[in-house]
Amino acid sequence: MGDFYVPHAFSHIDAHPDPVRLVNSLYRLRSEPFFASYKQRLRELLQARPGQRFLDVGAGTGDAVRELAAHTGAEVVACDLSQTMCAEMKHAGVRQVAVADSHRLPFKDAAFDGAWADRVLQHVADPGRALGEMLRVVRPGGRIVVCDPDTATQALNIEDHRLAAKVLVLRQTTSIRHGTFARRVPGLLTARGLLDVEVEPRTLLVRDKHTVDGTMGIRDWADTFADLGHLDRSEAQRFNALLDEAIESGRFLYSVTYFLTSATVR
Ligand SMILES: C[S@@+](CC[C@H](N)C(=O)[O-])C[C@H]1O[C@@H](n2cnc3c(N)ncnc32)[C@H](O)[C@@H]1O
């Protein structure tokens, strides 16, 4: 079984039978060029300066917290719902860590010069409310950056397109709570009166065996859905065989678009 075999695993990491696997999956993703590249852009969009104070909502392993502080000299606070992730961050040297739910951030109004959430709002129960909390804790003139994939933009090429589409729909409906929230963020920020609202699409393209097996969890998708009763076992076996065949023949392609949205609080 792979890293993502519990539905909504990243919504409740501490309830996962093996949360350390989720910690390790975040470290693996971070080393992929696609993730390193958009994370660097996310850092730039925060426009942090020395002495300013920033908040990473759903900070995970805290890599981005350490990197923003190291690159800009800003003070960076991390929060995450998961005790496992918070312990990992402290172990890795992040000094200001709070176990906190994004729906109720334990910070005063306008306490930060900026806040970001990277691949978090898709997993929370009420992403609109969590976004509202981020706006509350950032001062006027401060920066907001949100990044999530839009699961309705997924494309997967194996020989059986109908089966591929079925698995992708299951990923949208059972693995991630709010797979299309990312496309709504620019409009929500505009409606709240934020300034400089900008969206950058970033498409993750996977064609190689290493990334299929080691990073994205694609290899486990069909078996997971069969275990949960959403897919016949024979369909899962067929999916896996077609996946192998597609990778070996060079036909395999998976892509999904991430939306990186930034804005300034008025
Ligand atoms: C996919 S991970 C992304 C972590 C990190 N932002 C990164 O870019 O690597 C999602 C994170 O959101 C956290 N999370 C999920 N629901 C949350 C909530 N309601 N409040 C705060 N954090 C939450 C999870 O514990 C997990 O660490």
pLDDT tens string 164-179 = 999 999 998 888 899 9
Take residue 105 and report the two structure tokens written for it.
Answer: 């951030």
Residue with token string 């890293």 = 3
Closest CA to 102 of 118, 122, 80, 83: 80
DSSP structure string for 30-60: HTSHHHHHHHHHHHHHHT--TT-EEEEET-T
Question: From the CB of 11, is ligand 1 less than 6 Å away?
Answer: yes
Q: Kind and range of the H or E element at 181?
A: none
Burial class (CB in 10 A: 0-12, 13-18, 19+), 37: exposed
CA distance 76 to 112: 9
- What does the pLDDT look like over 122-142, one tens digit per residue? 999 999 999 999 999 999 999
CA distance 28 to 25: 5
Query: pLDDT band for position 6 (50/70/90)?
Result: low
Question: From the CB of 59, is ligand 1 less than 6 Å away?
Answer: yes
Q: What is the mean pLDDT of residues 208-216?
A: 82
- What does the pLDDT look like over 18-69, one tens digit per residue? 898 889 889 988 889 999 999 999 999 999 999 999 999 999 999 999 999 9
The gap from C-alpha 208 to its chain's centroid, in whole angstroms, comes to: 21
Question: From the CB of 67, is ligand 1 less than 6 Å away?
Answer: no
Q: Which residues of 103-140 are buried (b: 16+ CB within 10 A; e: fewer)?
A: eebebeeebbbbbbbbbbbbbbeebeebbebbbebbee
What's the CA-to-centroid distance between 253 and ligand 1, angstroms?
A: 27
What's the CA-to-centroid distance between 241 and ligand 1, angstroms?
A: 33
Q: What is the CATH number of domain 9-264?
A: 3.40.50.150
CA distance 49 to 39: 17
Q: What is the pLDDT of residue 69?
A: 98
Question: From the CB of 58, is ligand 1 less than 6 Å away?
Answer: yes
Query: What average pLDDT does the chain have?
Result: 94
CA distance 53 to 73: 10
Query: pLDDT band for position 7 (50/70/90)?
Result: low
CA distance 70 to 169: 40
